[in-house]
A and B are shown apart, each in its own frame.
Chain A
């Protein structure tokens, strides 16, 4: 699904990531961990094309990202659901409209997907907040909404950046449950998190692999944490 070959990235100063090689096969479940500022968000951005590697090669769905034009990039993003660390919404649209936004911009009929949307809102526990505006939501509610928006298109890959950063343990378990469910349906999942407890709890439910960034390199931590 997504392959990185000797990828390096630098924001202009020294290299933040170097020589990163990893393959996310279809249906795999990966955690990405590492200290704050080690480059987890940066690595995810590389995966959905918001940043271009300064070294190496990155392929998504078998195509080199560098060769994609802007429209192809837009189409690629419809196949990759992203939960951003700083959940970004359109503040003038209601929550339900924000969650349905990927459907709207890709020209899908939102009326036929209404049932889907309701179910999803239920899943993330936001059914009562459909008409709220994003600025009126709590941090945890925003994160749940971001997850709902990321999966509404039923993407092949879900990338989540600290999806449980602001929610309590019970809710974070529920969100992980949703991601595990999606993974069982064959989606590829990559989650960046510091929360080792969450990783442990999830390991009992699904076969996961843990990637750790340290010293600019990506280590395959395997079973031991």
Chain B
């Protein structure tokens, strides 16, 4: 079957089936609403995907080693820990933070003029993992044996569930897109069936004067495909405007403000009207073939 030829506008064939009034408006509305929802589901899936990827990457890459030891042993233990880190496969870089950097980290909590020397503040070592990463459990064992005051904090414990959450969110968004497509197919099938039933007499006459199924089905398929395309395009544009009006992504906002499209992904919603048209085409074609099969 040549889909292109079938979709080609055929003025005479389109006149042969009477205009279908309100099912036309319903189809337009449903396609528009579904496309609007699909834009948001798409934005959500992209944003949660980005978030999951970024968190997973940070999680794998950076960790902190904390050396808590009496003041006189702290320098020695730091040296020892750095030496161990240097030998550990999968560690790209390890660097002890300077006093100034540590003071800057603590300033928000204790104020600018903190007498760091007077307090038993632990020394922090920033560990950056290579690709693939290091074996955290192995490293902990070795540190426990050789540097008693060292505690490895690899952020995994609290971030891992967040990565899972972001991944589930992405999965849910993708499922939503599939459900939206399915609901649209179901509603267009109902609308097409209503139109076919309302035109049963017309279809009967067309069969009697020698029209092929393809010709009759084509008249309906063309209409519903076109309506779905137009409705979905309008819904998609409104959805995109909605996404554009969301506040700019910012670090403080974290997840919520990152809910837009980035760069080339702005082109992705353009696929929605196309998919909507394909769904409408398939649904109407199937409904028409089923109906026509019942006629002689």
Residues of A within 8 A of B (CB): 48-52, 70-71, 73-78, 82, 84, 88-90, 92-93, 97, 101-102, 104-106, 110, 149, 153
Q: List, in ascending order, chain B residues with CB within 8 A of A93's CB.
A: 15-16
Give, as a whole number of angstroms, the nearest-CB distance from A178 to chain B: 19
Task: Label chain B's interface by main secondary structure.
Answer: helix
Q: How far is the CB of A146 from chain B (nearest CB, A)?
A: 11
Complex alpha-carbon distance, A118 and B239, angstroms? 54
Contact of B212 among A50, A71, A92 (CB under 8 A): A71
Chain B interface residue count, Cβ-Cβ cutoff 8 angstroms: 21
Our pick among A51, A52, A74, A84 for the contact of B210 (Cβ within 8 Å) is: A74
Alpha-carbon distance A76/B296, docked complex (angstroms): 13
Known: A105-B206, A105-B212, A106-B211. 6 other contacts (CB 8 A): A51-B296, A74-B211, A74-B213, A77-B208, A88-B208, A106-B210
Which residue on A lies nearest to B204, using beta carbons? Answer: A88
Q: How far is the CA of A46 from the CA of B214 in the complex (A)?
A: 24
How many angstroms from the CA of A97 to the CA of B14 in the assembled complex? 13
Determine whether the beta carbon of A75 is less than 8 Å from that of B16: no
**Of the residues B18, B201, B210, contact of A105 by C-beta under 8 Å:** B210
| Shortest beta-carbon distance from A174 to chain B in Å | 23
Which residue in A51, A76, A90, A153 is a CB contact (below 8 Å) of B16? A90
B202 at the interface (CB under 8 A from A): yes
Task: Please indicate which of the listed interface residues B12, B16, B202, B209 has the most CB atoms of chain A within 10 Å of its own CB.
Answer: B209
Q: How far is the CA of A75 from the CA of B213 in the complex (A)?
A: 11
**Contact indicator B12/A104 (Cβ below 8 Å):** yes
Min CB distance, B220 to chain A, in Å? 14
| Cβ contacts under 8 Å, B15 to chain A | 93, 97
A102 to B215 CA separation, bound complex (whole angstroms): 12
Cα(A77)–Cα(B207), bound, Å: 8
Closest to B206 in A: A105
Chain A residues with CB below 8 A from B296, complex form: 49-52, 73
Q: How far is the CA of A73 from the CA of B18 in the complex (A)?
A: 25
B interface, CB within 8 angstroms of A: 12-13, 15-16, 18, 201-202, 204-215, 292, 296
Residue among B16, B18, B204, B214 making CB contact with A101, cutoff 8 Å:
B16
Inter-chain contact B209/A101, CB cutoff 8 Å? yes
Whether A102 and B210, one on each chain, are in contact in the complex, defined by CB atoms closer than 8 angstroms, is yes
Q: Which residue of A lies closest to B12 (CB)?
A: A104
Give the residues in chain B near A102, CB-CB below 8 Å. 209-210
- In the assembled complex, how far is the CB of residue B289 from the closest CB belonging to chain A, in whole angstroms? 10
In-complex Cβ contact of B209 among A71, A75, A149 (8 A): A149
Q: For B292, what are the chain A residues with a Cβ–Cβ distance below 8 Å? A: 70
When C-beta atoms are compared, the residue in chain A nearest to B18 turns out to be: A92
Give bound CA distance, A62 to B257, whole Å.
Answer: 74
12 contacts across the A-B interface (CB closer than 8 A): A50-B208, A71-B214, A74-B207, A74-B211, A84-B208, A88-B201, A89-B205, A93-B15, A101-B209, A104-B13, A104-B16, A105-B206
Known: A88-B201, A90-B16. A105 touches B215 (CB 8 A): yes
Which residues of A sit under 8 angstroms from B18, Cβ to Cβ? 90, 92
The answer to whether A74 and B212 touch across the interface, beta carbons within 8 angstroms, is yes
> Judging by beta carbons under 8 Å apart, are A77 and B209 in contact?
yes
A214 CA / B210 CA spacing, docked (Å):
32
**Which chain A residue shows the least CB distance to B212?**
A74
Q: Is the CB of A105 within 8 A of B208?
A: no
Residue from A48, A52, A70, A97 whose CB has the most chain B CB atoms within 10 Å: A70
Within the complex, the shortest CB–CB distance from B104 to chain A, in Å, comes to 80
State whether A71 touches B213 (Cβ < 8 A).
Answer: yes
**Complexed CA–CA distance, A49 and B295 (Å):** 11
B202 contact from A82, A90, A153, Cβ within 8 A = A90
Which 10 residue pairs of A and B lie closest in terms of their CB atoms, listed nearest first?
Answer: A105-B211, A78-B210, A77-B210, A92-B18, A74-B212, A102-B209, A88-B205, A104-B12, A50-B296, A74-B210
CB distance from A3 to the nearest CB of B (A): 20
Residues of chain B with a CB closer than 8 A to A105's CB: 13, 16, 206, 209-212, 215
* Contact partners of A104 in chain B: CB under 8 A: 12-13, 16
- In the complex, A93 Cα to B209 Cα: how many Å? 15
CA of A77 to CA of B295, assembled, Å: 14
- In the assembly, what is the distance between CA of A75 and CA of B209, in Å? 10
Residues in A with CB closer than 8 Å to B202 are 90
B95 to chain A, nearest CB (A): 78
